Amino acid sequence: MATRSTIMDTNSFRAEHAAALDEQTRTLTEKRARLLGDSYRLFYRNPVHLVRGEQQYLWDAQGNKYLDVYNNVASIGHCHPAVIDAVQQQMSQLNTHTRYLHERILDYTESLLKYVPGEVSKAMYMCTGSEANDLAIRVARAWSGGTGIIVTREAYHGTSELTSGASPALGSGQPLAATTRLVPAPDRYRVDTPDIGAWFAAQIQEQIDDMAAHGIKFAGLLVDSIFSSDGVLPGPAGYLKPALDVVHRNGGIFIADEVQPGFARTGESFWGFARHDIVPDVITMGKPMGNGIPVSAMLAKPEVLAAFSDTIPYFNTFGGNPVSIAAAQAVLKVIEDEKLQQHSLTVGTQLQQELAALAAQHDCVGDVRGAGLFIGFELVTDKASKNPDKQRALDVIERLREDHVLTSVAGPHGNVLKLRPTLAFQAHDIDWLVGSLDKALRAGR
Amino acid sequence: MATRSTIMDTNSFRAEHAAALDEQTRTLTEKRARLLGDSYRLFYRNPVHLVRGEQQYLWDAQGNKYLDVYNNVASIGHCHPAVIDAVQQQMSQLNTHTRYLHERILDYTESLLKYVPGEVSKAMYMCTGSEANDLAIRVARAWSGGTGIIVTREAYHGTSELTSGASPALGSGQPLAATTRLVPAPDRYRVDTPDIGAWFAAQIQEQIDDMAAHGIKFAGLLVDSIFSSDGVLPGPAGYLKPALDVVHRNGGIFIADEVQPGFARTGESFWGFARHDIVPDVITMGKPMGNGIPVSAMLAKPEVLAAFSDTIPYFNTFGGNPVSIAAAQAVLKVIEDEKLQQHSLTVGTQLQQELAALAAQHDCVGDVRGAGLFIGFELVTDKASKNPDKQRALDVIERLREDHVLTSVAGPHGNVLKLRPTLAFQAHDIDWLVGSLDKALRAGR
């Protein structure tokens, strides 16, 4: 098994960097260290102090303009007026909870369900992706009568006790639950197999068997279908079908964690799982759903959800409130009106081509892969050895930051640039990103 | 031990009520049943379809005006313009996460920390009270090295797996964690003891001893210091001191769950725990914090928090974002500017007096108790026997709803009206509430 790295901890500000900061930044970082819990991590040795955002751009306190190539929360663009207006309007009318009737939650659910397979026909709403995944695991357990959950080796699924125990990306400080089993992610760059789908399914079966040997009944597979934290591994469309089959054969459910790939980002499809033409039993979503307003959801097959909801009450005070739902409605409408899925495919493909051309010029770029505007750019010591080069990745991230391009890293070795711009990213932004990346790579280690 | 009741399930719409509804309400309830998970519960046999809110009032689709005597989320009043403006303004500028620097989270933390004892000096932000309590339990475990959590018998602390396992109010369908122990709430109406504080501390020690007998190390006590779900039991100020002492003597931490009593509601003090002049180790807060915008927090003593944050990464994507914090800032400023704590004390005391006068006229009202605008009104078969009368409580709730007064029930027997209006509730609203209540009580069973 690969060493569990702490992707949450890479490339971040540390106290020893403070001396090099300008005065305002230093004051803020010191105040932050004093007032906030030490779990908080700042990106970059020289943290960015942002004050304004618009579309794909951000501005810092000095007026410098940044290209946001990382934040999939403000997915339809920072400060999108449609979301501001929707929130403003609903806030002025009413904000209350789901124990009274309100049209918005029903209208939105009807709209949202049009984007998923017909078998998945029930919705529940929360505030964060963590809450959606926490509930999804509980549903898997209620449905299966088991407790065992399988995730990939570098997966991140949330901050709650239950989801943290199924998030190896948090590193060795956070113990995994005794009922969690890990499978390697389907990494076609590093796994040499003619059939990645069959290979991945076999890994899952092996862990289900190991659970059984420990007296743990299998409950389900929880996967981000683009394997973002594992290094952004879209893989060939369709290859997750055998994984779904093996899960079902063993009495578990397939939970598609769409917190990262969902809402049109992958271009080819509206969801990550949809690239594989499979029907998950449960679908969770969050981050981009309200463009920054906290809202998340869990969609499920009714018979699967019933096993939970027939016995366990669930009420989320803010979940599904009219204001959060108004934001979510606006996001969905903008994705439709601005044809952002097609846009993500078109611009994403163009960006991937430019990145591939750049990779051809640099022996330290091992692989470029992606779906739409969700791209992994893997740095290695050299193409022949494929040895992961984490230090170079960190250096590149810092150099990009100095060129005002914001992104970060992923993967078990922390050597994959995770390029995940807002869907407002345009073809004319490619030069800035690729040019800065070229410069950063040429600067060497 | 008292039978675990399901307060989450009382007084709610059921399918068999559908025939009696008007057409629009029936259409919405049917659509809801089809689209949303069955865990969702609607208040009232005849659910309320709300479309507008302002200050302490709500309006339904037919234009009927309601007095909100239940919702402590819109605590400073429905659709308060200060919150709308703050959210609108920040949404138009920037909404991003805590991995970049931003002043708001720091400024707000400084303001908030002024309201808690100086020993509690670190903050972390989430989106829901459940997330705050989930983290608080994890912090208790990291600090103590134990796993055992004590809560009161009818407590409700959240929807996540971890917090649900410490929420007996969810009923027998939701198993408690093997490491959860229950203590009876300090109910002075039903517990005959000269010193409720010593009695409560003894109950806690008993459960700690029981944990030890089972090889479970004690981690902490998690309590809503007004014991809302246990039936609203403010009790005499100061009586929680022995509970704090017993927790500390046994190596655990005291977590004050301020999701319900916090933010000036109790009138006498800004927090429920502050009535007792104690210093909790961890303080959690949520519901009223952003007046409906999802935002929650966990404050902690730095040495307690360090045990967690030194080893476990924690990042909450939406937690502490500038927009949620802008809402929280506006709420705090309104509480100060409009002197809502003093208001809650003044109007709450007046309301309690009127309710006590009403109780004197009805043999079925066993007790009236409260702190500020958080009041329990307990219904019994007769004053002499003190037998809980749940059915009467449910009938009263339905009758109040027909008089357009919204509230609900609490307590292990489901017989306590939980009167928890917005802090925008005024002296001139008392007649409506007390008059309707009198009418409902006179209508008999």
pLDDT by position in tens, chain A (length 445): 333 444 444 557 777 777 788 999 999 999 999 999 998 989 999 999 999 999 999 999 999 999 999 999 999 999 999 999 999 999 999 999 999 999 999 999 999 999 999 999 999 999 999 999 999 999 999 999 999 999 999 999 999 999 999 999 999 999 999 999 999 999 999 999 999 999 999 999 999 999 999 999 999 999 999 999 999 999 888 999 999 999 999 999 999 999 999 999 999 999 999 999 999 999 999 999 999 999 999 999 999 999 999 889 999 999 999 999 999 999 999 999 999 999 999 999 999 999 999 999 999 999 999 999 999 999 999 999 999 999 999 999 999 999 999 999 999 999 999 999 999 999 999 999 999 999 999 997 6
Q: Which residues of A touch B105 (CB under 8 A)?
A: 36
Q: For residue B255, is pLDDT > 70?
A: yes
Q: How far is CA B133 from the centre of its chain?
A: 12
Distance CA B201, CA A61 (A): 52
- Do A373 and A298 reside in the same domain of the chain? no
Q: For residue B7, is pLDDT > 60?
A: no
What is the tens place of the pLDDT at every residue in B374-385? 999 999 999 999
Cα dihedral A356→A358→A360→A363 (10° resolution): -120
User: Do the domain assignments include residue B321?
Assistant: yes
Alpha-carbon gap: A357 to the closest alpha carbon of chain B (Å): 31
User: Do the domain assignments include residue A19?
Assistant: no
User: Do the domain assignments include residue A297?
Assistant: yes
Which among A40, A50, A310 is the nearest to B96, CB-wise? A50
User: Do the domain assignments include residue A423?
Assistant: yes
Say if the Cβ atoms of B323 and A9 lie within 8 Å: no
Q: Which residues of A touch B9 (CB under 8 A)?
A: 313
- Do B64 and B85 reside in the same domain of the chain? no
Q: Which residues of B touch A122 (CB under 8 A)?
A: 35-37
- Do B61 and B167 reside in the same domain of the chain? no
Count other C-beta atoms under 10 Å from residue A41's C-beta: 18
Which among A39, A105, A294 is the nearest to B313, CB-wise? A39
Say if the Cβ atoms of B128 and A35 lie within 8 Å: no
Alpha-carbon gap: A193 to the closest alpha carbon of chain B (Å): 35
Q: Phi/psi at B20 (nearest 5 deg)?
A: -85, 0
Alpha-carbon gap: A269 to the closest alpha carbon of chain B (Å): 23
Alpha-carbon gap: A178 to the closest alpha carbon of chain B (Å): 15
A432 SS3 class: helix
**Which CATH number belongs to the domain containing residue A332 in this structure?**
3.40.640.10
- Do A320 and A389 reside in the same domain of the chain? no
Q: Residue B13's pLDDT is what?
A: 79
Are B69 and B425 a contacting pair, CB within 8 Å? yes
Distance CA B193, CA B344 (A): 30
The residue whose two tokens read 């995730």 is A151
Q: Going by DSSP bridges, is the β-strand pair A405-406/A65-68 parallel, antiparallel, or unpaired?
A: parallel
What number of C-beta contacts closer than 8 Å exist between A and B? 329
A211 SS3 class: helix
Say if the Cβ atoms of B102 and A49 lie within 8 Å: yes
For chain A, the domain total comes to 2
User: Do the domain assignments include residue A13?
Assistant: no
Q: Which residues of A touch B404 (CB under 8 A)?
A: none
Q: Residue A10's pLDDT is what?
A: 54
User: Rounded to the nearest 5 degrees, what angle is found at the Cα of A178, between the Cα atoms of A174 and A179?
Assistant: 115
- pLDDT-based confidence at B234, cuts 50/70/90? very high
User: Do the domain assignments include residue B293?
Assistant: yes
Q: Residue B12's pLDDT is what?
A: 72
- Do A52 and A102 reside in the same domain of the chain? no
DSSP E strand stretches across B127-167: 148-152
Q: Which residues of A touch B58 (CB under 8 A)?
A: 94, 96
Say if the Cβ atoms of B313 and A48 lie within 8 Å: no
Say if the Cβ atoms of A39 and B287 lie within 8 Å: no
Alpha-carbon gap: A109 to the closest alpha carbon of chain B (Å): 7
Q: Which residues of B touch A131 (CB under 8 A)?
A: 127-128, 130-131, 159-160
Q: Which residue of A has its CA nearest to B100?
A: A48
Which among B6, B50, B102 is the nearest to A96, CB-wise? B50
Q: Which residue of A has its CA nearest to B133?
A: A160
ipTM of the complex: 0.96
Tell me how far CA of residue B38 lies from CA of A49, A285, A315, B139, in angstroms: 44, 19, 11, 33
Domain boundary among A280, A314, A337: A337
Distance CA A256, CA A276 (A): 11
Domain boundary among A337, A353, A379: A337
Alpha-carbon gap: A238 to the closest alpha carbon of chain B (Å): 29
Q: Phi/psi at B160 (nearest 5 deg)?
A: -75, 170
What is the tens place of the pLDDT at every residue in B397-445? 999 999 999 999 999 999 999 999 999 999 999 999 999 999 999 997 6
Say if the Cβ atoms of B94 and A123 lie within 8 Å: no
Say if the Cβ atoms of B53 and A321 lie within 8 Å: no
Q: For residue B93, is pLDDT > 90?
A: yes
Say if the Cβ atoms of A309 and B39 lie within 8 Å: yes
Amino acid making up residue A371: A
Distance CA A146, CA A165 (A): 16
Q: Which residue of A has its CA nearest to B137?
A: A161
Residue A178, C-beta contacts closer than 8 angstroms, at least 6 positions apart: A216
Q: Residue B6's pLDDT is what?
A: 43
> B6, B100, B143, B406: which to substitute to probe chain A, counting the most A Cβ within 10 Å?
B100
Say if the Cβ atoms of B305 and A37 lie within 8 Å: yes
Q: Residue B34's pLDDT is what?
A: 96
- Do A222 and A270 reside in the same domain of the chain? yes
User: Do the domain assignments include residue A24?
Assistant: no
Q: Which residues of A touch B305 (CB under 8 A)?
A: 37-38
| Mean pLDDT across chain B | 95
Q: Which residues of A touch B51 (CB under 8 A)?
A: 93-94, 102
Range of the domain at B230: 81-337
> Strand order in B405-406's β-sheet?
B50-54, B57-60, B65-68, B405-406
> Strand order in A416-419's β-sheet?
A365-371, A374-379, A416-419, A408-410
**Which CATH number belongs to the domain containing residue A55 in this structure?**
3.90.1150.10
Q: Residue B331's pLDDT is what?
A: 98
Q: Which residues of B touch A88 (CB under 8 A)?
A: 84, 87-88, 91
Secondary structure in 3-state letters for A190-205: CCCCCCHHHHHHHHHH
Say if the Cβ atoms of B47 and A73 lie within 8 Å: no
Which among B88, B96, B160 is the nearest to A53, CB-wise? B96
Which among B74, B92, B316 is the nearest to A128, CB-wise? B316
Q: Residue B19's pLDDT is what?
A: 78
Which among B36, B84, B171 is the nearest to A124, CB-wise? B36
Q: Residue A13's pLDDT is what?
A: 79
- Do B63 and B129 reside in the same domain of the chain? no
Q: Which residues of A touch B159 (CB under 8 A)?
A: 126, 131, 135, 314-316
Q: Which residues of B touch A134 (CB under 8 A)?
A: 160-161
Distance CA A196, CA A443 (A): 36
- Do B97 and B163 reside in the same domain of the chain? yes
- Do A275 and A240 reside in the same domain of the chain? yes
User: Do the domain assignments include residue B38?
Assistant: no
- Do A217 and A315 reside in the same domain of the chain? yes
> B99, B167, B401: which to substitute to probe chain A, counting the most A Cβ within 10 Å?
B99
- Do B209 and B345 reside in the same domain of the chain? no
- Percent of chain B surpassing pLDDT 70: 97
Cα separation of the two ends of chain A: 28
Residue positions counted in chain B: 445
Both tokens assigned to B414? 């489901």
- Do A223 and A287 reside in the same domain of the chain? yes
Distance CA B9, CA A311 (A): 11
Alpha-carbon gap: A360 to the closest alpha carbon of chain B (Å): 33
Distance CA B36, CA A194 (A): 42
Alpha-carbon gap: B178 to the closest alpha carbon of chain A (Å): 15
Both tokens assigned to A338? 């601005």
Q: Residue A7's pLDDT is what?
A: 47
Domain boundary among B315, B337, B359: B337
Q: Which residues of A touch B54 (CB under 8 A)?
A: none
Which among A40, A53, A161 is the nearest to B134, CB-wise? A161
